[in-house]
């Protein structure tokens, strides 16, 4: 074994020793490390690409579109091909990365109950379609690592007691003390299952169709490293670690955010970055903000973490006309060190999560927000608290309808308020993710909710391409207005060095009706002020509060209007955002 391979082998072994310290293994750790490296095809020096620490493999030009493989359909072709055509037609010079939500055969949860990790759902297309997209766009894929479908071959083998998967799943006893277990759902935790070896109680964090893996068995880890290698071969550049916080379970604990979970992420990163250092890991951990931040590790775990606190805080800001909570949160957020960054989003296939707002919004604020969203046609999904109480877990609503008004009710500023939300998000430190239904200005899909019986379906509309094209071509439709204005903002954003995901960010103090922050490019050449009126009344901002340097010429990049330093005030219309810059690189 060469020196480089030996060093990597020692590092992998160190990870494994930490993970399995309390587990009796059937083979030495060194043999398991060798098996993992072989699975990832890191067998000789030619296979090793040494990663550089604290290297940013992203810049201001990176924007991710989040979509299902069949969010847009045309009856004459496979949906993945239709998606590719849509991107090439309507997202030119805006979107350069695409997150295709689970595109595998599945049994429930719109893809997150995976039957077979190694194949593409034939109703969407095939691996050739995935690889074709990966040739033109950075491909982000889900690693549904906590659980799989109860209809998978692995779980069928568990029931039979033989074959691959027969020992892959976590079981417990109804007599165990499970009172501390953190739950995102109100369904019973244990699923009674009849097997060839008698009755077993399978752990189900999310639903009884989503059976949890037992990572105490190294075979599970090996199986997932094989899956990761397959996805890399098919063109994956970003891995989204779904529900990863629940990965490791120890009866008698909360079974969330355990140290073994963090160590498994560190191990996966070590192996992945030695195949291709440019591949990015993003952890999907829908948990309170302080816990979420721990997934950065010491720049040796996730490259990026979902900024889960942003959606509820930003929606609350815009429906109340008060940014104090958003401002306090932004001031408390640590800058991401080089080699890490935030993944910013304000809408996704799921709802507006409320757990990440705990400790940031008062209970009364959350209750008020929930009430307002219900008034706008939203649904509420619940979870069980540690004391057995039901608490709101997420609000299910499209972002477009969530911003149709204020706590006083709907008004005429829906589109402006919606664009304001994205202008704030696009300007923030981090990589922006834009949900396809935000890009299209999609409204609540009540028909789909009625058909599926699932609240989350409200924000998972499936568009017919011809219908969508007619709406996008109509200058009077909300869809045309939203796509046009968002595309303009994204194109401007991509040209600004001050919007690099790791560029300096500083929160401004401009009162509670105006939300502002300053960004400075890494080379310190560009200063950029993002200032938004988050209320339904015109606001004035003292230019002296912004501190525009008199030696520079300033311009609002959105309106292309110069900023006159001799003026005392900056006038902002309701929900207007200005991006004031001393440079215009666009």
- Residue 456 counted as an annotated binding residue: yes
- In the DSSP assignment, the letter for residue 171 is B
Strand pairing report for 190-195 and 198-203: antiparallel
- For 453, counting Cβ atoms within 10 Å of its Cβ (0-12 exposed, 13-18 middle, 19+ buried), the class is exposed
Facing residues of 335 across strands? none
Q: Measured between alpha carbons, how far is 36 from 50 in angstroms, rounded to an integer?
A: 17
- Residue 183 counted as an annotated binding residue: no
- Residue 109 counted as an annotated binding residue: yes
- Residue 401 counted as an annotated binding residue: no
Q: Is 242 noted as a catalytic residue in this protein?
A: yes
Facing residues of 362 across strands? none
Q: Measured between alpha carbons, how far is 563 from 535 in angstroms, rounded to an integer?
A: 22
Q: Measured between alpha carbons, how far is 65 from 371 in angstroms, rounded to an integer?
A: 29
- Residue 241 counted as an annotated binding residue: yes
What kind and span of H or E run contains 391?
strand 390-396
Q: How far is CA 578 from CA 45, 114, 446, in A?
A: 52, 44, 35
- Residues 249, 23 contacting (CB under 8 angstroms): no
- Residues 239, 279 contacting (CB under 8 angstroms): yes
- Residue 350 counted as an annotated binding residue: yes
Active-site position among 242, 401, 445, 536: 242
Residue tagged 């109703």 (tokens): 123
> Which residues in 170-200 are b (16+ Cβ under 10 Å) and which e?
bbbeeeeebeebbbbbeeebbbebeeeeeeb
Q: How far is CA 493 from CA 109, 517, 558, in A?
A: 34, 15, 10
DSSP letter for each residue of 397-412: --HHHHTSEETTEE-S
- Residue 99 counted as an annotated binding residue: no
State the number of CA atoms in the 13 A half-sphere of 363 facing the CB: 1
Binding residue ranges for substrate:
109, 147, 240-242, 349-350, 456
Binding residue ranges:
109, 147, 240-242, 349-350, 456
Catalytic annotation, residues: 242
């Amino acid at each position: 074994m060469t020196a480089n391979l030996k060093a990597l082998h020692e590092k992998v072994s160190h990870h494994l020793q930490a993970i399995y310290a309390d587990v009796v293994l059937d083979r030495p750790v060194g043999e398991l490390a060798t098996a993992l490296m072989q699975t990832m095809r890191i067998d000789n020096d030619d296979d090793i690409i040494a990663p550089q620490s604290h290297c940013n493999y992203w810049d201001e030009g990176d924007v991710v579109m989040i979509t299902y493989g069949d969010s847009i359909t045309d009856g004459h072709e496979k949906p993945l091909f239709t998606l590719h055509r849509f991107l090439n037609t309507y997202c030119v010079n805006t979107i350069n990365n695409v997150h295709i939500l689970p595109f595998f055969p599945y049994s429930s949860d719109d893809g997150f109950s995976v039957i077979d990790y190694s194949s593409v759902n034939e109703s969407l297309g095939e691996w050739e379609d995935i690889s074709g997209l990966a040739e033109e766009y950075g491909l982000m894929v889900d690693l549904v690592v906590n659980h799989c479908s109860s209809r998978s071959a692995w779980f069928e083998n568990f029931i039979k007691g033989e074959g691959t998967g027969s020992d892959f799943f976590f079981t417990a006893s109804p007599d165990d003390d499970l009172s501390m277990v953190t739950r995102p759902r109100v369904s019973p935790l244990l699923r009674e299952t009849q097997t060839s070896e008698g009755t077993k109680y399978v752990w189900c964090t999310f639903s009884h169709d989503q059976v949890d893996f037992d990572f105490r068995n190294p075979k599970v880890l090996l199986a997932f490293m094989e899956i990761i290698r397959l996805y890399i071969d098919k063109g994956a550049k970003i891995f989204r670690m779904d529900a990863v916080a629940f990965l490791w379970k120890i009866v008698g604990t909360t079974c969330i955010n355990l140290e073994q979970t963090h160590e498994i992420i560190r191990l996966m990163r070590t192996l992945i970055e030695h195949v291709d250092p440019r591949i990015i890991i993003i952890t999907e951990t829908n948990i309170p903000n302080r816990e979420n931040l721990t997934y950065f590790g010491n720049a040796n775990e996730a490259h990026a973490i979902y900024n889960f606190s942003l959606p509820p805080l930003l929606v609350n800001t815009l429906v109340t006309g008060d940014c104090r909570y958003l401002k306090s949160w932004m001031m408390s957020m640590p800058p991401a060190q080089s080699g890490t960054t935030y993944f910013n989003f304000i809408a996704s296939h799921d709802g507006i999560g409320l757990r990440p707002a705990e400790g940031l919004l008062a209970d009364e604020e959350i209750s008020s927000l929930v009430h307002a969203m219900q008034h706008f046609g939203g649904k509420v999904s619940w979870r069980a608290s540690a004391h057995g109480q039901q608490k709101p877990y997420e609000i299910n609503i499209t972002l477009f309808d969530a911003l149709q008004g204020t706590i006083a009710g709907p008004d005429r500023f829906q589109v402006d308020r919606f664009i304001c939300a994205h202008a704030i998000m696009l300007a923030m430190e981090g990589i922006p993710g834009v949900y396809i239904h935000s890009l299209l200005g999609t409204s609540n899909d009540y028909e789909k909710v009625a058909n599926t019986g699932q609240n989350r379906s409200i924000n998972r509309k499936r568009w017919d391409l011809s219908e969508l094209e007619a709406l996008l071509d109509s200058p009077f439709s909300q869809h045309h207005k939203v796509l046009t204005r968002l595309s303009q903002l994204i194109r401007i954003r991509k040209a600004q060095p001050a919007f690099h995901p790791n560029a300096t960010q500083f929160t401004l103090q401009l009162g509670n009706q105006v939300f502002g922050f300053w960004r400075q490019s890494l080379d310190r050449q560009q200063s950029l002020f993002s200032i938004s009126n988050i209320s339904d009344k015109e606001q004035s901002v003292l230019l002296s509060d912004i501190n525009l340097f008199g030696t520079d010429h300033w311009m609002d990049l959105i309106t292309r209007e110069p900023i006159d330093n001799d003026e005392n005030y900056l006038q902002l219309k309701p929900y207007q955002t200005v991006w004031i810059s001393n440079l215009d690189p666009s």
